[in-house]
Amino acid sequence: MFVELNNLLNTTPDRAEQGNMVVLVHDSGDAEDEENDILLNGLSHQSHLILRAEGLATGFCRDVHGQLRILWRRPSQPAVHRDQSFTYQYKIQDKSVSFFAKGMSPAVL
C-alpha cells in the first residue's frame, strides 16, 4: 500500500510542486522478511538517489568502519549516462564522520 501511494503521489501530472521523501529501511541481510524485501525493492526502483551504508566485506577494521554506496539515477539523461555509482569508505569519530575514497584511508597512506 505504501509503495502504491508513493508512486501515485510522485506521478500525478497535476501536482504543482515536486517534493522529496527520505526513507530509512533497515536490511540485516540474514532475516527472511519478505515484506521488508518488497518494500526495499519497490522504493529502490522509484528512487533517484540511494545511499546504502554497510559494513566492510572483509570484516572489522580499526581505521575504516564501513562504506557508503551512492547510486544516483538521472532519468532525464540518455541511458548510457543515466546511472552513476560511487563508493566511499568512512570512519566514525567522536563528533564527526570522515569520508575518503576506497583504499585511501589515512592508515593506508
Write the pLDDT tens digit of every residue in 50-68.
Answer: 888 888 888 888 888 899 9
Q: Which pTM was predicted?
A: 0.69
- Sheet of strand 83-92, all strands in order from the earlier edge strand to the far edge: 49-54, 66-73, 83-92, 97-101
Element (H or E) spanning 94, and its range?
none
pLDDT score, position 27? 72
Query: What is the spatial distance between Cα 18 and Cα 43, in angstroms, rounded to a whole number?
Result: 17
Q: How many residues does the chain have?
A: 109
Is the pLDDT higher at 12 or at 47? 47
Q: Report domain extents, the chain.
A: 1-47, 48-109
